[in-house]
Amino acid sequence: MRQTDYPTLYQTINALLRDLTPLTVDCGVLCGGACCKGDDKTGMRLFPHEETTLPVIEENGVRLAVCNGTCDRETRPLACRIFPFFPTVDEDGEIFVEADDRARRLCPLIVHSDELKFDPRFFKALKKVGKLLVKDPECRAFLEETTAEIDTYRAFLGE
């Protein structure tokens, strides 16, 4: 079995997403950049073997990149690049791009999704990202675990 070259994997992923975001405009205008207001105790969950230039804290075995609300957009973590969406995976390894309902309280993109025009290039790129990640056993396990968390949260909301 071949070992995953994680730096190359994440470089490829970052190149796929380039400067794509869910909207063709700056979505931070809608909410005052709510997702980019951080502190030294909260942050975005890192993907397996993902390196970051941001400070990292570990809470209950979960690595989080933390920031004060400003970062170099070129080096931001994958979770920041894809927020508030996630490449979920089913039992057959099929990738779906879905809203991450855990972000519902923070992000108006989820609550107002019927009223917004999303950039289809972002979703196409994120599906490709998911297909790359699912090939690696650790990344697949991470996708499966996070998919289960999202499904549990969605069930809690009654959706």
Dist CA 147 CA 85 (whole Å): 11
How confident is the model at residue 114, as a pLDDT? 82
Mean pLDDT for the chain?
91
Helix (H, G, I), strand (E, B) or coil at 133: helix
**What are residue 104's phi and psi, to 5 degrees?**
-55, -40
Strands 62-65 and 95-99: unpaired
pLDDT in tens, 31-84: 888 888 877 878 899 999 999 888 999 988 899 999 887 788 888 899 999 999
Dist CA 44 CA 63 (whole Å): 8
Dist CA 90 CA 14 (whole Å): 24
- Residue 43: partners with Cβ closer than 8 Å, 6 or more residues away: 54, 56, 57, 64, 65, 66, 67
pLDDT in tens, 95-142: 999 999 999 888 989 888 888 899 999 999 999 999 999 999 999 999
Dist CA 35 CA 30 (whole Å): 11
95 and 131 Cβ atoms separated by less than 8 Å: yes
Dist CA 37 CA 64 (whole Å): 14
**What are residue 148's phi and psi, to 5 degrees?**
-65, -40
